[in-house]
Amino acid sequence: MASTVHTPLFRRIPVLALALGLIATGVSWIGSAAPSFWFDEIATLMAGRLDAPGLWQFLQHKDAVHGLYYAIVHYWVAAFGDGAMALRGFSALAVGLGTAGMVVLGGKLASTRFGVVAGIIYLVLPRTTFMGIEGRSYALSAALAVWGVIALVVAVKRGTWWAWTLYAVVSIFTIYLFMYAALILAAHLTYLLLTRRDRPTLLRWGISVLVILAAVIPLMRAGYGQRGQIAWLAGQPIVNAWTTLVEPWLDGSWLLAILVILLFVIAGRRLPEILARYGAPLVALAAAWAFAPLILMLIANSLVGPLYTSRYVSFTTPGFALLLALAVSVFSRRWIAGVLVAVLALASLPTFVAQRAPYAKQSGVDFLQTAQTIAEHASPGDAFFLQNDKTRTIRPRLTIAGYPAAFAGLDDIAFVRSDLERGEFNDVTLPPRHLGERLRGVDTVWVAGAKRTTPEIRDMRRVLAEGGFIERATYPLNRTEVTEYVREGTR
């Protein structure tokens, strides 16, 4: 069984948890504004800007499983704005909350020192540093997964109705933030069976789980009804050794993967010592937390898929951090554990930096750079036309939703209406051949399209040429090309 935490040491846990949580928030926030938003983050902003009736209408058509997160984001952006620093700052705070929880959890299950080690490892893992600059629910759901385990540990120890109620409430909230987080209940059961097998405790947990499952039935039904949203996974080569054994926690870090394998090999050889020192419940909890949801999801993916991509198991990252903390803490000399944690942090650093590069998001999206180019060079009264290929999630027109301030004072000549409340992230726009009337009185048009010219952009160039426009300047970006067209005889 895990070692007992002495009272004076235990009293240090809240201070250490708060301190490390604040550090984690700061570290996660560093460089968060540098990468461009990508499609999922822009979807967050578009849904989060809706008022309550509009959001409810939208959720009837799409993203019902993200409804709670969108509602939270609505109030967050209303208070702090919808820029990258603000949106991703919310995720950075969630990383801090999760890191603080790791310190508290480690202190309850082993010792304050173990909790601090687990918190630091959680903070530096590439999946955590990814979650910290991602405007989605991953960081918050992972943090609540940590506090859900804390609630379980407290409920098992105290056995009171309010403790089990708190456990149920936190679990329900976590699942509503990210539906797949329901799979963590398998880790909860594993810990429970190895900690307390008495009938009253198992009965209380069983009742709590029934309440949890009953409460999330509406979410599950909505998610099943909208399952077509993830049909795109079928065309992705995303279930292989790398995407299932490395990416869920280490992102793309080969160096860190090698170090982790070495640590786990050493820990495996010293497993009896780890079990004697920390107890089977902690070891089993960490392993089940890290791997049980992944295994269950892969089974479901093979039976009814497609369901899996590595970021969907982000909430297992705290369990993986606990496993690594066990691996480094088994050494009797504390300085060795300290060195190993430092080595893990240094090995994670290249990935941390790469995640905060300008084109770090999916497929090197450059919505931010497109917006900056137009904002820097366009003048009030200029018009713009952004490619709106609705089959692509990297279409330049999404730039407007991600960075609306860049287009203030400019004329969106193709815009017809937004169908967001009908569940469509695509604006309805006029094709270039129907823009003749709207081009009257316009002297400058900014066109943004994929570098690899599409039929839509070719049509726009033809319409502009027929209207007497000539190309004045071109700004090639990472994926997009921004071109300024002016009417002959002007400027």
Q: Calculate what percentage of the chain has a pLDDT beyond 90.
A: 83
Task: Convert the pLDDT of each residue in 171-204 to its tens digit.
Answer: 999 999 999 999 999 999 999 999 988 899 999 9
* Residue 41 predicted with pLDDT over 90: yes
* Residue 491 predicted with pLDDT over 70: no
Rounded to an integer, the average pLDDT of 273-293 is 96
Rounded to an integer, the average pLDDT of 465-483 is 95
Tell whether domain 366-487 is in CATH 2.90.10: no
Closest C-alpha to 201, from 147, 149, 164:
164
How far is residue 399 CA from its own chain's centroid? 20
Q: Distance between CA atoms of 415 and 429, rounded to whole angstroms?
A: 5
Quote the pLDDT of residue 1. 42
* Residue 165 predicted with pLDDT over 90: yes
Q: Calculate ∠ Cα 141-244-182, nearest 5°.
A: 30
Burial of 83 per CB tally in 10 Å (0-12, 13-18, 19+)? middle
Q: CA distances (Å), 345 to each of 20, 91, 340, 403, 459, in order?
A: 15, 20, 9, 33, 51
Task: Convert the pLDDT of each residue in 4-32 to its tens digit.
Answer: 444 454 458 889 999 999 999 999 999 99
Rounded to an integer, the average pLDDT of 477-482 is 96
Rounded to an integer, the average pLDDT of 162-170 is 97
Quote the pLDDT of residue 4. 43
- Residue 76, both tokens: 């967050």
486: β partners: 444, 470
Task: Convert the pLDDT of each residue in 200-209 to its tens digit.
Answer: 999 999 999 9
* Residue 92 predicted with pLDDT over 60: yes
* Residue 489 predicted with pLDDT over 80: no
Number of Cβ within 10 Å of residue 174's Cβ equals 27
Q: Calculate what percentage of the chain has a pLDDT beyond 70.
A: 95
Residue 147's pLDDT band (boundaries 50, 70, 90)? very high
Rounded to an integer, the average pLDDT of 319-338 is 92
Q: How does the average pLDDT of the chain come out, rounded?
A: 93
Residue 391's pLDDT band (boundaries 50, 70, 90)? low
Phi, psi of 466, deg, nearest 5: -65, -25
* Residue 72 predicted with pLDDT over 80: yes
Task: Convert the pLDDT of each residue in 442-471 to its tens digit.
Answer: 999 999 999 888 899 999 999 999 999 999
Burial of 441 per CB tally in 10 Å (0-12, 13-18, 19+)? exposed
* Residue 355 predicted with pLDDT over 60: yes
Task: Convert the pLDDT of each residue in 213-261 to its tens digit.
Answer: 999 999 999 998 887 777 666 666 668 888 999 999 999 899 999 999 9
Quote the pLDDT of residue 394. 79
Rounded to an integer, the average pLDDT of 132-161 is 97
Sequence ranges of the domains in the chain? 7-357, 366-487
Quote the pLDDT of residue 338. 93
* Residue 412 predicted with pLDDT over 80: yes
What lies within 8 Å, CB to CB, of 403 at 6+ separation is 37, 367, 368, 371, 375
Quote the pLDDT of residue 475. 97
